[in-house]
Structure 1
């Protein structure tokens, strides 16, 4: 009975700490979705490769976007002829390098700036590598001939010629919507995003609390004492749990006995590759690009975690 109480307290604690950041991220994402066109910061992308990659990363810093909705956004950017060198790095990095996620990571790890820096670097590196990998590919070469119409909760996607356009409840885009409709749209987006991603947070909190409460300490000790096992185990857990980037730091921090390298790997790989993202990649991008979107982040994060492990982290 005592174990059940400890489990309930641990799961509730993780959720209560993470939920405000998830709600804040949902609210900011809703404001941007309704009031700011997704391509506004990428409209004037430089012509040189390095500038295009930098533009994508810069947009990711300013536009908080959860990974659950980033693939449809990237698809729309590509359909509007935004260079893949900008759109793909934006898609991979935006869920992590924005102020909301940086703030939640700092809070979860009690102000440890080094954890934030390591997390950001582990995400930016594969995002840049994917931008370079795409070379001079055109947007149409990156996408499937007929990319799937990805819809989030409450969205209805319509076709206007060769471009797609997403209409939502109280659509706040350039459709003649008034301020009242825009406000309703923001409330709707906030609620839909919070509910959609809250279920993953609840599931992740339950799993993390279950590991801490019911798994024999000697098994956890085996993982925590072996950097390789710890990194592999938490990376696999991140892919399976599919927790929103605004909240995953609290789950990672709950694995107190695990090394920093493993916890950072958990927070880096999850927002780039998880069970909800992989099917989206293969539905939107051609097979070669989709495979790269899965393999490059996993290999990059694992390699960087190996270096951290060798350094005693």
Structure 2
């Protein structure tokens, strides 16, 4: 009898917790969708009141990016939260060989089956290092997981319909950059540059509670960056004169460098950055590929996360070299494939 009561009580607590998670996710999603709805409904009305076609164009671009990106953003955060809550880090530790030269490409390829957003990749990489994974392999996984996971690749295929080479180019360039950076750290990295995160004194949360907390945090956090990125991309298309864009779009190298810098500043989540890149139709395919390769690996929020987790000496060196490698890698792949 006592066991039955305990089972019933545990079941009720599980249901109550599930309802709380659902309420948080629904409220968070409603808040994000409310912004999109206001943009899509009131935007055209406001544009008509102001009689300014550029304002109508701004609302159109903003709404298109946000509406297309939200479903993939939600799917990506669900997958990321589930992996963080239910997949132990020791799974990757046991699969990687001790030889760093072999462990780096395997860890980079693991980003395909163990996806995560940029914000989650930094603490996951730190946890892997604490559990014995060599830093070069952990850093390769840090760069590849948010860039080549299935959610990102599917989103890219939707954003660029009928252009499978853009999806393949993103996969090849991102994986190559992640592997090269892991090998570069194995060859030139120094222990004093990398401050390993301290081991947590408490027990890490697992299961449904960790899943709910991770989903709520990642969706709301990344959703804010999606809205800001969509607004910034729409503003960029509206404010920057065509004559200035022609200076960059007329030069293949200048257009790549401009979008590579823009990716660092906009901080768009990798699950949604393909839609922002697709909206920048005035630029070459190689430049837009550079935007999608650089963004998940180097941006302002990632720099802050890396500096707080591994130290500023590491973040400055690693981010700078990663940016140069990502620009070079995407340019080579774009020239060869696109």
TM-score of the superposition, structure 2-length normalised? 0.77
Task: Give the equivalent residue in structure 2 for 1:2.
Answer: 53
Matched, 1:295 2:323: no
**Structure of higher CA gyration radius:** 2
Pairwise CA distance, 1:222? 2.2
Instruction: Spell out the pairing of 1:150-169 with structure 2 (5 A cutoff).
Output: 158-159=200-201, 166-167=204-205
* Partner residue of 1:199 out of 224, 227, 238: 224
| 1:224–1:257 contact (8 Å) kept in structure 2 | yes
Task: Give the equivalent residue in structure 2 for 1:54.
Answer: 105
* Partner residue of 1:282 out of 285, 298, 307: 307
Matched, 1:73 2:124: yes
Cα 1:287/1:133, change in 2 over 3 Å? farther
Deviations 1:129-151 (A, max 9, x none): 22222338999766416x3x7xx
Task: Give the equivalent residue in structure 1 for 2:166.
Answer: 115
Q: Where does the alignment leave 5 or more consecutive residues of structure 2 unmatched?
A: 1-51
Task: Give the equivalent residue in structure 2 for 1:97.
Answer: 148
Pairwise CA distance, 1:118? 1.7
Pairwise CA distance, 1:191? 2.5
Pairwise CA distance, 1:204? 0.8
Name the stretch that deviates more: 212-221 or 227-236: 212-221
Matched, 1:133 2:184: yes
- In 2, Cα distance between the equivalents of 1:12 and 1:251? 11
Q: Where does the alignment leave 5 or more consecutive residues of structure 1 unmatched?
A: 150-156, 173-181
| 1:106–1:112 contact (8 Å) kept in structure 2 | yes
Pairwise CA distance, 1:312? 9.8
| 1:126–1:296 contact (8 Å) kept in structure 2 | no
CA-atom RMSD in angstroms: 2.6
Task: Give the equivalent residue in structure 2 for 1:261.
Answer: 286
Name the stretch that deviates more: 190-199 or 291-300: 291-300
How many residues in Structure 1 have an aligned counterpart in Structure 2?
Answer: 287
| 2:177–2:329 contact (8 Å) kept in structure 1 | no
More helix by share: 2
Task: Give the equivalent residue in structure 2 for 1:178.
Answer: none
Task: Give the equivalent residue in structure 1 for 2:21.
Answer: none
Deviations 1:160-183 (A, max 9, x none): 5xxxx543xxx42xxxxxxxxx1x
Pairwise CA distance, 1:261? 1.0
